[in-house]
Amino acid sequence: MIDHLSLAVRDLSASDRFFSVVLETLGYRRLVARAETVGFGKSYPEIWLNARPDMAAVPAGAGWHVCLRAPDEAAVRAFHAVALAAGGADEGAPGPRTGAQTSYYAAFVRDPDGNRLEAASFPRPL
C-alpha cells in the first residue's frame, strides 16, 4: 500500500491554491504548510507538494498520473469542474470508463505543472 506521494511544483503558492480547492471535492484538506512544502490529507498528509522553482515545465504527455478515489459520481463531476475553474486543463470529461477489471466513472485534468490527475468512483460490490 502506498503511504503518500510527493509532487514537485514550480510555484508552491499557486499549486497550494489549486490543490486546496480541487482536493476538497474528494474530502482532502491542507494539513501541513511550510515554506517549501504543503501536505494534504484526510487525517494525515497523503499528498505533498514540494517547491522546485527551478524545475522545467513538464512536457505534454509526461509527468505524474495520480488517480484519487472519489466517493461517488457527483464528487468526480465536482473535481473536474473545480479543477477547470481553478486553472487546470481538461484531459477527459467526467463519464463512464472501462478498466481492465471493472467499469468505473472518472474524470481527468492536468494541474498547473502538467501532472495528470484523475478522480474515479468505482461501483460497490453486489
Q: Which three cell numbers stand for residue 49?
A: 507538494
25 close to 51: Cβ distance less than 8 angstroms: no
Would you write out the chain's pLDDT as a tens digit for each of its 126 residues?
Answer: 789 999 999 999 999 999 999 999 999 999 999 999 999 999 999 999 999 999 987 887 777 889 999 999 999 999 999 999 999 999 999 999 988 888 999 999 999 898 999 999 998 653
pTM tops 0.85: yes
CA diameter of the chain: 50
Q: What sign does the dihedral 35-36-41-46 (CA atoms) show?
A: negative
Give Cα separations from 35 to 9, 12, 50, 90 (angstroms): 13, 9, 9, 30
Q: Give the helix ranges, DSSP H, for 1-126.
A: 12-24, 73-85
Q: Phi and psi of 113, rounded to 5°?
A: -95, 0
Fold of 5-52+64-121: 2,3-Dihydroxybiphenyl 1,2-Dioxygenase; domain 1 (3.10.180)
81 close to 90: Cβ distance less than 8 angstroms: no
Q: Which three cell numbers stand for residue 6?
A: 510527493
Q: Which three cell numbers stand for residue 48?
A: 505533498
97 close to 40: Cβ distance less than 8 angstroms: no
Residue spans of the domains in the chain: they are: 5-52+64-121
